[in-house]
């Protein structure tokens, strides 16, 4: 995640670009078709700077390193999962909630489940200690 924080004025300016779907002070969500088009252009030999300048982005404002990293992440997704995967919004969807706020049920049921998790982890730690001793690592 980027440490850059966009001001209200910068967000308004970014949202004028048709290739941006959403923008907050912390992140930019690019248009899905734009991502696919840019990956294809990169694969055809265009440089990152040229791709984003042609799309109307201010390279000095956003930073060429950030844009390269963004494009490379799209390329990685397209190679690993297919180009059509770029048309899906996946931000925040892969996290599996493990905290008590994600457990359904009463407080009593939550406590029982958390106690079970603690017992499981304690047993796992005990087992790992035994393995370390057997391997001579302890």
Domain range annotation of the chain: 8-87, 100-135
> In degrees rounded to 5, what are phi and psi of residue 28?
-120, 135
List pLDDT tens digits, range 95-116: 445 555 566 678 888 888 888 8
List pLDDT tens digits, range 30-87: 999 999 999 999 999 999 999 999 999 988 888 899 999 999 999 999 898 888 888 8
11 sits in which H/E element: helix 8-15
3 sits in which H/E element: none
Q: Are 36 and 83 in contact (CB under 8 A)?
A: yes
Q: Are 67 and 55 in contact (CB under 8 A)?
A: no
């Amino acid at each position: 995640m980027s440490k850059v924080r966009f001001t209200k004025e910068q967000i308004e300016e970014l949202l004028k670009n048709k290739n941006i779907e959403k923008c907050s002070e912390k992140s930019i969500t690019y248009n899905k078709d734009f991502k696919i088009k840019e990956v294809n252009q990169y694969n055809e030999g265009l440089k990152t700077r040229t791709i984003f300048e042609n799309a109307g982005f201010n390279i000095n404002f956003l930073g060429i390193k950030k844009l390269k990293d963004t494009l490379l992440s799209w390329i990685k997704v397209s190679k690993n999962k297919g180009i059509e995967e770029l048309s899906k919004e996946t931000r925040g969807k892969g996290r599996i909630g493990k905290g008590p706020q994600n457990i359904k049920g009463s407080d009593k049921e939550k406590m029982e489940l958390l106690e079970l998790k603690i017992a499981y982890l304690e047993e796992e730690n005990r087992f790992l200690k035994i393995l370390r001793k057997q391997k001579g690592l302890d």
